[in-house]
Structure 1
């Protein structure tokens, strides 16, 4: 482990921003293709969002994976067979630490170092300004390429709710311990996986729990036919079952398992199955059925000690938890480098490759219907091979880039999703991996 990076031009080395799961995969796969790598991590250890010790981690005490173990592990570093189907967050962190140790990734990570800016330096190279989080002066280093893996679940998206509330309001990112819910009246705002999980925890600790959602969602159980639900979906995708048939099967299975949740007061979904990020929670129907969670509509405004809902009703919680997601942030990059629109949404090929800057890529900017780690692995493999191809055969690289730029969005991204920020990066993992496989084949000259 080094204390401070060497100043100046790093030649053909690649800069990786972040040492979470995606950053670790990027370091490993870049090194395997012969690249020198400098990874800058603002924290003092690996793990990113899964390291609950980090200030920016959204992980709380009861967090488990919502994707099953076989569909979450890296393809070249399996999780132990003795682990449960849905490992606890401490196991996931242990897994990432062992991954880093096994591949000796720590040799290339500068801990306590933050990237403050990344600017084009001409000829595809980049000037990267780094500074110590301890407050030391910054320095600039030049790299042949930059791979961004700073995550997109650390900057809370806080709803703008008019009025004043005399109780406590917190974003789900600040929620860590269920003891904070004990004996209180709690309103959870947000119908995603985090909102549902916290509502379930509140049902076990609080005296009263309201769960506010803007729209209806499809709530899937964690197990179907004795197997984790994502494994069943994975099989259907690999069999290439048409979307309409999968949607019919989804509705049928839910009717036979969780039943019609609108009878508890939840709004009816305004979209079809697979048109939103999957909400996987087996316990929500249980606590709805026992009256421990009370569904309520969206929040209209705060009113002193109360909260007024869009149907005109008023409730008086002690604590409001807004599980309203996160927004992607790349403060060290000018928005035009990622062709971000006015809302901050980047336009990247395969949600990874900057369209006008061939030596700039982002790893892990995905919302898949299974685990992220395998997709981050293959993304980083594709990025590493792309950078190697540019160095060894520029003419072929240009031809591949031209062909890939014509690939329709529908070939690797979901065709129809709920129009919200939460669904910016939605992908079906099988279709996405096929698209990455196609890119790899193009670069290898197979097709």
Structure 2
């Protein structure tokens, strides 16, 4: 397997875990877990700061969830970006000008392939290798135990100077529990298993969940299924992908650039939706119980269109399953052939003790800037954000900050200690100006403008390594 340094060269280190495992000392090398969008950014920026890097990727190629060939990829045939190109691309590697505003997932994968080749990242990556355990090794170092994906071959434990976790948070399905679900006589899928409209063709389909994926699948069901119901727990604001002739996130960013206060931006958005979409309750959709920006934005220009044409029937939340029927909260009973749970994902770090990330009883970690845990200065997480824009620029600057912090621990320890104090003080802070709903879907919600400003302040505080 090609790597940045010789993996077979070091002799077993003297320091070993209590169980006597053989340990290969990797010196000052940093371990990166995952070669998706965030992992690639981490590898690139760590190497630019002079670190040796070993990246472990459980799959046989790069791209993470954007590589549809991967077992854990939730990508389906028609998946496109919901954030526009300028707010999605890495800041030092722009997407082609000829690409559309909202590129297709196949274009995204080719973008990552070119990014990896341009910065010569593949030589740092161990493909087909999964991390099964990460443990403190003392002296702020880490034992990382790996094996071939699928549990084949012997385990190998290596000692690293630091670990950057970039395994993503959109691959471990969150499946709700309902009375009678086990005995339901229809077919049940999580959205992660939905791949092609052929799965919907001619069926009576119930889509549960009003996130971007749920809305997209409901739209496809409107075109392919014999009938489509769309179940939501609350009302949402459905933003069109284009506003005033431009991608909606670009219009929103213009309002941020002029530093309009939140209340004024909310008023303008509500006014704009009233003029363009109208009263959502007229279509049978529930009235939103929150202001715009208080939940993750839903960018979909077609949902209201198909609701208005009677091809999607909005229904309230599901209460239970009864044989072949689904019982709704208003007492109605429907009989779908297929139920698709577009109910999101939960962050999963099954190789790491959750206490290390300061996780609470619900499993939500406590991380400064969604990246840095308390008491572990050589451990960081990249990409654990859900912004109102694209995530790749945020992952880029997160990994720049991580690389700078690790380097300044050696070259400017006073600056690094001051930054460590900020981690302790602000690990529980949320980086959003609105009162975001407190649900697992919104654990990592950030306002991209506020969050980027915080990253910039942190970079300035750490300074440029001498």
Query: Is 2:415–2:461's contact at 8 Å kept on the other side of the alignment?
Result: no
What CA distance in whole angstroms lies between the structure 2 residues aligned with 1:136 and 1:228? 49
Aligned to 1:348: 367
Deviates more, 1:345-354 or 1:399-408: 399-408
Aligned to 1:106: 122
Aligned to 1:143: 160
Aligned to 2:2: 2
Aligned to 1:121: 137
Write the deviation string for residues 29-72 of structure 1: whole angstroms up to 9, x where unpaired.
Answer: 00000000000000000000000000000000010000000100
Aligned to 1:63: 79
Aligned residue for 1:201, secondary structure, equals helix
Aligned to 2:306: 287
1:220 to 236, 239, 246: 239
Count of residue pairs brought into register by the alignment: 446
Write the deviation string for residues 200-244 of structure 1: whole angstroms up to 9, x where unpaired.
Answer: 000000010000000111110000010000001111112211000
Deviates more, 1:416-425 or 1:389-398: 389-398
Q: Cα gap change, 1:43/1:13 in structure 2, threshold over 3 Å: closer, same or farther?
A: same
What CA distance in whole angstroms lies between the structure 2 residues aligned with 1:131 and 1:435? 37
Aligned to 1:202: 221
Structure 1 runs, 4 residues or longer, greater than 4 Å off: 407-411
CA RMSD in angstroms comes to 1.5
Aligned to 2:16: none
2:252 maps to 1:233:
yes
2:319 to 272, 297, 300: 300
Aligned residue for 2:154, secondary structure, equals coil
Aligned residue for 1:136, secondary structure, equals strand
2:355 maps to 1:336:
yes
What CA distance in whole angstroms lies between the structure 2 residues aligned with 1:138 and 1:410? 38
What CA distance in whole angstroms lies between the structure 2 residues aligned with 1:51 and 1:403? 36
Aligned residue for 1:94, secondary structure, equals helix
Q: Cα gap change, 1:170/1:436 in structure 2, threshold over 3 Å: closer, same or farther?
A: same
Query: Is 2:270–2:292's contact at 8 Å kept on the other side of the alignment?
Result: yes
Per the TM alignment, residue 415 of structure 1 is displaced from its structure 2 partner at its CA by: 4.5
Query: Is 2:373–2:427's contact at 8 Å kept on the other side of the alignment?
Result: no
Write the deviation string for residues 136-173 of structure 1: whole angstroms up to 9, x where unpaired.
Answer: 01010000000000000000000101112101000000
2:106 maps to 1:90:
yes
Aligned to 1:248: 267
Unaligned 5+ segments in structure 1 are none
Query: Is 2:2–2:122's contact at 8 Å kept on the other side of the alignment?
Result: no
2:284 maps to 1:268:
no
Aligned to 1:322: 341
Query: Is 1:41–1:114's contact at 8 Å kept on the other side of the alignment?
Result: yes
Per the TM alignment, residue 266 of structure 1 is displaced from its structure 2 partner at its CA by: 1.1
Deviates more, 1:168-177 or 1:391-400: 391-400
Aligned to 2:149: 133
2:61 maps to 1:45:
yes
Write the deviation string for residues 248-287 of structure 1: whole angstroms up to 9, x where unpaired.
Answer: 0010010011111111111111111100000010000110
Query: Is 2:132–2:351's contact at 8 Å kept on the other side of the alignment?
Result: yes
Write the deviation string for residues 414-436 of structure 1: whole angstroms up to 9, x where unpaired.
Answer: 44111210000010101100000
Aligned to 1:171: 190
Aligned residue for 1:127, secondary structure, equals strand
What CA distance in whole angstroms lies between the structure 1 residues aligned with 2:171 and 2:85? 23
What CA distance in whole angstroms lies between the structure 2 residues aligned with 1:123 and 1:258? 58
Write the deviation string for residues 387-431 of structure 1: whole angstroms up to 9, x where unpaired.
Answer: 000121222211222245445966733441112100000101011
What CA distance in whole angstroms lies between the structure 2 residues aligned with 1:331 and 1:372? 23
Aligned to 1:12: 28
TM-score (norm 2): 0.94
Query: Is 1:411–1:431's contact at 8 Å kept on the other side of the alignment?
Result: no
2:177 to 157, 160, 173: 160
What CA distance in whole angstroms lies between the structure 1 residues aligned with 2:438 and 2:238? 19
What CA distance in whole angstroms lies between the structure 1 residues aligned with 2:157 and 2:98? 46
Query: Is 2:367–2:427's contact at 8 Å kept on the other side of the alignment?
Result: no
Aligned to 2:438: 419
Query: Is 2:293–2:434's contact at 8 Å kept on the other side of the alignment?
Result: no
Unaligned 5+ segments in structure 2 are 11-23
What CA distance in whole angstroms lies between the structure 1 residues aligned with 2:443 and 2:68? 26
Per the TM alignment, residue 2 of structure 1 is displaced from its structure 2 partner at its CA by: 2.5
What CA distance in whole angstroms lies between the structure 2 residues aligned with 1:404 and 1:139? 32
